[in-house]
Chains A and B, each alone.
Chain A
Amino acid sequence: LAKTTQPISMDSYEGQEVNITCSHNNIATNDYITWYQQFPSQGPRFIIQGYKTKVTNEVASLFIPADRKSSTLSLPRVSLSDTAVYYCLVGLSGSARQLTFGSGTQLTVLP
């Protein structure tokens, strides 16, 4: 399982765009990149997943460069309710395998 590295914490202000970058130098050919969000006292919640280039959904965008050794989660116009821990995970496609969580990034959105 590929190891991921991401900042321990980030601060932002309401209305700003937040970009959280994750490095995964040992990503394998079949690995996908998935981001989860976790609020206090809740379980992690899927945000977005991608394999290469760019993926966008109603919540976030995920940018993956050609070498796939890193990825950037972009949250547009954050609000106070986006304060949470964000996890970058890398894992195999195909059968649903176990998820390997790192330390995550604690995002704090300030008013």
Chain B
Amino acid sequence: EAGVTQFPSHSVIEKGQTVTLRCDPISGHDNLYWYRRVMGKEIKFLLHFVKESKQDESGMPNNRFLAERTGGTYSTLKVQPAELEDSGVYFCASSRASGTGEMNTEAFFGQGTRLTVV
């Protein structure tokens, strides 16, 4: 079974440009998450999809970030326009659906996309 895949693995763009990150979750996983770690900081939650719906986007830093999950399959995270402080590693994770009372379902992470804004 393929794991969570992210593309690209690295991206270097100039300030003001647009970048789109892609995440392919594990097949059949309803939950998809985006996280990021900026330099020297902890991994922070950005948002959570359940299928194609945004369940929680409380971690999105501002309106320059737009996430989509078309058809409840892969997801994209667009940064437009990119700023220097957006540099960091962006992780995607997915997990299967869970019901009330079950343990937290294991989240599988991708390798991350290292974004550098210059």
Contact = CB atoms under 8 A, between A and B. Distances in A.
Given A42-B111, A43-B111, A49-B106, A95 B100 contact: yes
B59 interface: yes
Given A94-B100, A99-B45, A43 B105 contact: no
A78 interface: no
B98 A96 contact: yes
16 contacts: A34-B104, A43-B4, A43-B109, A43-B110, A44-B91, A46-B107, A49-B104, A93-B103, A94-B101, A94-B102, A96-B48, A96-B98, A96-B107, A98-B45, A101-B44, A104-B42
B31 to A, nearest CB: 5
Given A91-B104, A93-B102, A96-B105, A101 B112 contact: no
A76 interface: no
Main secondary structure on A side of the interface with B:
loop
B108 interface: yes
Given A51-B103, A95-B98, A96-B98, A46 B45 contact: no
A91 B107 CA distance: 13
Interface of A: 32, 34, 41-46, 49, 51, 91-104
B95 interface: yes
Interface in B3-52: 4, 31, 33, 35, 42-45, 48
Given A46-B106, A94-B100, A99-B45, 16 more contacts: A41-B112, A43-B91, A43-B111, A44-B43, A49-B106, A94-B98, A94-B101, A95-B100, A96-B96, A96-B105, A98-B33, A98-B45, A99-B35, A100-B45, A101-B42, A103-B42
Contact of B104 (A32, A41, A42): A32
A32 B99 CA distance: 15
Given A44-B109, A96-B98, A102 B104 contact: no
